[in-house]
Amino acid sequence: MKATLSQIEAFYWITRLGSFRAAAMQLNLTQPTVSLRIHNLEESLGVRLFKRAGRKMRLTDDGTTLLPDVGSMMQLAGQISARQRLVDPLHGRLRLGAPASIALGCMAELLGTLEKRDARFDVALTIEKSSILQRRLNEREIDVAIVVEPDVKPHVRVAPLGIMKHAWFASPRLSLARRWIGPADLMPHQVFTQPEPSNLMTLVMTWFGSAGLEPKRLGTCDSISVIARLTAAGEGVSILSPAILGTELCLGKVEMLKTRPTLVRPRLYLAYQADKVGHGMKLVIQAIRDCVIGSSLLARR
Amino acid sequence: MKATLSQIEAFYWITRLGSFRAAAMQLNLTQPTVSLRIHNLEESLGVRLFKRAGRKMRLTDDGTTLLPDVGSMMQLAGQISARQRLVDPLHGRLRLGAPASIALGCMAELLGTLEKRDARFDVALTIEKSSILQRRLNEREIDVAIVVEPDVKPHVRVAPLGIMKHAWFASPRLSLARRWIGPADLMPHQVFTQPEPSNLMTLVMTWFGSAGLEPKRLGTCDSISVIARLTAAGEGVSILSPAILGTELCLGKVEMLKTRPTLVRPRLYLAYQADKVGHGMKLVIQAIRDCVIGSSLLARR
DNA sequence: TTTCATATATAGGGAAATCCTATCATTCAA
DNA sequence: TTGAATGATAGGATTTCCCTATATATGAAA
C-alpha cells in the first residue's frame, strides 16, 4: 500500500491541533475516519506514528522525524491547488439568487453539494421573485441566479435548466383529489397565490381564464412557504411545485389535484455574469444543474 | 474534488516519459486509467494541463507552471516512504525458499501479490526439499521459507500456516476414480514419487504400510512437475497436492482418487530469520499467508 | 487515397477503498 | 463512582477506482 495525500493531511492536522477529534472537525470528517487514515498511513510506512499518552496521543520518534517533510508536503499541496484561485474571478464570495419556490426545493441540497465538492464560498443568498433577480443580475449585484423566463442584458449569460413542474394542491379535507378538477370546480374555494407581478399569479389567472372564469376568492401572500402552510391547513387551494411539499405529501397533509386543463409549464433558466466565468463558476453551474435535476422541480422531459 | 497523490504521480511520469502510455507502463496501470487521473486532476485544478499536439500531448502553459511543484512533491513523497527502508533489515533483496510442491501451487501468485502491495524486492528463489531449505535457513542463506515440519536453530522463527491437502491422482484412462481405492487396488500400478528422503515418499510408504503392503512398482523422480506430467499422461499414479494440478483437473486429464485409508496430512510452516523482522518481512509473511490460504494447498480446517 | 500503427478518450461493470453510524474501551476529573 | 472526553472497532452503504472493450484521431506506409 502507498501513502496518500489524505493520510498525510490527517497526520498534519492531528499534529497541528493536538487530537484526532479536532483534526476530524477541521477536515469535515468523523473521528473514526481519521483514525483509519492514520492506521493506514502507519501500515504503509511500516512505522507507528502515535502512542497513547493518557487519553491523548503523543507522536513517536518516527512520527516526529516525519513531521518536517509532511509540513512541506502540505504546503506544496496548498500551492498546487491554490494556484488557479488567484486567477478565478469567482473567488471567496458567491452571490446567488433564486425564487423562493426553487430555493425551498433545492437550495439546501445545493449548498451541501458545493461543500461536498470542495467549492467553498461565502454565500450571499438573495431570495426574490424572478423579475427582481433579473434586475439585480442586470445591475451586476448577483453572480448567478435561477430564474423563470429571463430577459437580460448581454453581460448576463443564460442557459436552460428545464421545464418546471407545477400542480394544484389542496388539503385532503376538501376531498378534491379523487376526480378530474376544472376551473369551475375550484370556484367555491379560497385560492392562495403570490401578488402581481408573479409567475404563480399568471399561472392561476391563465388557468381560470382558459374556461372564461376568474377565481372568486383570491388570497395573496408573498411568501411561498406560508402559502404551503395555509394549503396544508386546509385554508385554501394553491398552485405549487411538488418539490417544496415533500414532507407534507408524504404525511398526506396535502394532495396533488388532477386538473384539466393542464397548467402552463414555465421554463427555468440559469443566468450568470459572463465575466465571472472561471473554474469556480463552472463548479457552481454544474452543482445547480445536478441539484435541480435531482430535485422534483422539473417535469420529466 | 481534491488533487490526490496518484493524480500528481501520473502527471509527473507523463511529463518525464513523454506519453500517457509510457507513464501507464511505469505505474503498472492501463492507459485509460492514466487518462482518467489526468482528467480528474484537470477537473480539480480547474485548468487544462495537456493539449493535443498531433498524436502526442503537449503541456499547456498552466501545466508547465505546475511542473516544479509537482517535482518537489514527488521527491518529498519518495523521501517519506523511503525513510523506513533505511532501517528495514530486509531491504532490496529477498531470499525466499519453498518446496516445489508449494512453489508450483502459489509462487506465481505470491510474487504478484508482493508486487501489488508495493513490496518490491530482487527475489532469489530457492526451490528445494524442506530438509535442504531447513539447513539453508540454519546457515542464514535464506530469509524466509515455506517448509514442512521444520526443526531449526533459535535464530530461525517458525509459524504454522495450516495442514496440507494431498491426494492420490491418476489419469482417467486407468478408471480408478469411480470407487474407493485402498493400497491393494494400487499394487498393480506404477507409482511415482520423490526419492528418499522426502515427504512424498514418506506419505506413499505410510499409506501402503498401513495395509501391511509395499508398492510393487515404485518410480522416483525429483521433479514434482515431471511427476504431474507423467501422471496426466497415464504413466502411473502419484500422491500430489491438488493445487499444482489446477489445469489438468479442469481439463479432465487427471482425476482425484477417493482413497482409504486417508492420507497423512503434513503441517506447513513459515520459517524466517528472527533478525530480519521489520516492515519488509511483515509484508512478506502476510503475503505468504494470504497466498497459501488463497490457494488450494491447505485442507480446510 | 487507403490502410495500418500509434496514441488518447469514452463507456460500463465489477472490485476495492472510503466513510459513516453505532458502539465499545480507556482515562481523567469532578 | 460517575460523567465527559478521547480513540478504537465493527458493519454496512456509498463512492471511487481501475480494467476491458471500443471509439476517435493522427501520422506513416502502401
* pLDDT of res. B111: 80
In angstroms, the CA of A42 and the C1' of D14 are apart by 25
* pLDDT of res. A250: 78
Residues 7-66, chain B: which have Cβ under 7 A from strand C?
Answer: 19-21, 31-32, 35-36, 38-39, 50, 55-57
The mean pLDDT of chain A is 87
In this structure, whether the domain defined by A167-259 belongs to CATH 3.10.180.10 is answered with: no
* pLDDT of res. A20: 92
Nucleic acid strand C within 7 Å of A36 CB: yes
Can you give the pLDDT of all 301 residues of chain B as single tens digits?
Answer: 788 999 999 999 999 888 999 999 888 888 999 999 999 999 888 888 998 777 778 888 888 988 999 999 999 998 888 777 767 888 778 888 999 888 887 887 788 778 777 787 878 888 888 889 999 999 999 999 999 988 889 999 999 888 998 999 998 888 888 889 989 889 888 888 988 888 889 999 999 998 888 888 888 888 888 888 888 888 889 999 888 887 788 788 899 999 988 888 889 999 999 999 888 888 888 888 888 877 778 876 5
pTM of the model: 0.74
Nearest to A170 by CA among A245, A240, A256: A256
CATH superfamily of domain region B93-163+266-293: Periplasmic binding protein-like II (3.40.190.10)
Q: Is the pLDDT at A227 greater than 60, yes or no? A: yes
A193: left (phi over 0), alpha (psi -120 to 50) or beta: beta
For chain A, give the percent of residues with pLDDT over 70.
Answer: 99
* pLDDT of res. B34: 93
Identify any residues that bridge with A50 across adjacent strands, giving them in sequence order: A59
In angstroms, the CA of A86 and the C1' of C10 are apart by 32
- Decide: residue A199, CB within 10 A, 0-12 exposed, 13-18 middle, 19+ buried: buried
Q: Is the pLDDT at A7 greater than 80, yes or no? A: yes
C-beta atoms of A3 and B81 within 8 A? yes
| Nucleotide in closest CA–C1' contact with A1 | C17
Q: Which residue is nearest to nucleotide C11 (CA to C1')?
A: B32
For chain A, give the percent of residues with pLDDT over 90.
Answer: 33
In chain A, what are the domain boundaries? 5-87, 93-163+266-293, 167-259
* pLDDT of res. A243: 81
Reported residue count of chain A is 301
Nearest to B281 by CA among B289, A8, B109, B147: B289
* pLDDT of res. A140: 94
Q: Which residue has the higher pLDDT, A41 or A291?
A: A41
For residue range A124-172, list pLDDT tens digits in order: 888 888 889 999 999 999 999 999 988 889 999 999 888 998 999 999 8
| Nucleotide in closest CA–C1' contact with A19 | D6
Nearest to A127 by CA among A152, A150, A153, A101: A101
Same fold, B93-163+266-293 and B167-259: yes
* pLDDT of res. A85: 72
* pLDDT of res. B300: 66
For residue range A202-224, list pLDDT tens digits in order: 999 999 999 888 888 888 888 88
Max distance between CA atoms of chain B, in angstroms, equals 85
Nearest to A13 by CA among A26, A1, A31, A29: A26
Least confident of A23-27, A287-291, B157-161: A287-291
The separation between CA B136 and the C-alpha centre of its own chain, rounded to angstroms, equals 20
The hierarchical CATH code for the domain B5-87 is: 1.10.10.10
